[in-house]
Structure 1
């Protein structure tokens, strides 16, 4: 009888350990899936609109639409971009053909925030900025509780 109860306890511990492992894998997969679901191709949106400034004022807004992640080191392709007047380097830093957003790329752009900058240009349509890089940091779910030892 004690042999059967020992076997049952061992089997129960194995089942609990297996279930804990499945739970852990599920949480890790969910975290990875969230990271895969968010990327700068679809979650860093650029919008541009005219302002009242002269000669032609433009406001560029950069919006993070991923609720689980923040973006940083955001870089725009700005080949040939020449603003009418210098921009604040904390807002936009131009190096060769790359524009580093938000303090040289070190500033974060959290979910649903609207990071924006303005510039003046003689172009009637504004400059065609495109995002060509953004690093991402996502919240992973909390670690599952440790397995119960029987």
Structure 2
């Protein structure tokens, strides 16, 4: 029987995806709650030798959403819309669009909005993972808020 998983735990584990650009996929063992990360370029033999035979235990392994599910540009735009008029003006004044992701994050940090942006992003990830878990029939304890940026 599969365990009930806290949504906040899933978000914490999945957000690590962003930190490794070589990461191809993440598999979750719904029984043991082991997380298997598979890097680009790894062969099936590498995976079996270094990790586990996912195909041999397929009923317990589920492929987690990929980074493609998280549209960074859309998340930045949705977060921008939640800001006060003053904060929006400050951000626009400092933004020149040369390196949108890095520049946006630098400005967010300089304006002291890092915590708010990270919390907003985590709630967007929570929404993605909650829907994924429901589709995969994984029991999840919704222990945090979610945000559907398509409904803002």
Q: Which TM-score band (shorter chain)? A: under 0.3
Higher strand share: 1
Higher helix share: 2
TM-score where L is the length of structure 1 = 0.25
Highest CA radius of gyration, 1 or 2? 1
TM-score where L is the length of structure 2 = 0.25
